Structure 1
């Protein structure tokens, strides 16, 4: 005898799932259009003016973001040359969206080899804009 199991989303949970999906789509569009394309000018489409930045190398606010990344990316990548980041996981719950990516790093003991490290970025979304960001960045060693 076969057993059939049905999974039903409760009606009350459907608006939250829709909001989670919208927040996820916003953060992924931000990543693709700003980071992958290295186009800091598009950040205004995704970040709030009073965006809170927890990366110790970048000032808070849309201005802090654009001041920092305009120095790294003086011009966007040419159309057709943008490689999309391949995420290992994209999680969305409520106003939070987390991106996780694999980054091969050089093996310290053997430069001909690499090992996988995993990095994350966490975003908080409010009213259709990214309002806060956390990542694993550290201050540079001087």
Structure 2
């Protein structure tokens, strides 16, 4: 299994990403027969088969990994000009992770499970993202 990591360009907070997902989820649902969140990217992962239904896309917002969304499937898409893309079809569920710093990069990258930040449970650190971010910056979690 391998995960994916991607910058959420133009989004400044987890709440803004949720809002974007909510605006787009219904529109994409008509195409895929369910309410999903779809992100279109240029390149189809070579390891797509091992990702579908088992991996997540980890979102980087403002220089930190802050959440993940389970990947349901990856679908090829060709636009009217004949250019190929990949639709990353994700669950609407957004799972907060322990905030983890990440430098900017282009496109998406693979993320090994052992390098992925853990989910932030409701009771961990009192549920405070600020405390978790501070502890992560200090290398304590």
Q: TM-score, with normalisation over the residues of structure 2?
A: 0.29
Q: TM-score, with normalisation over the residues of structure 1?
A: 0.28
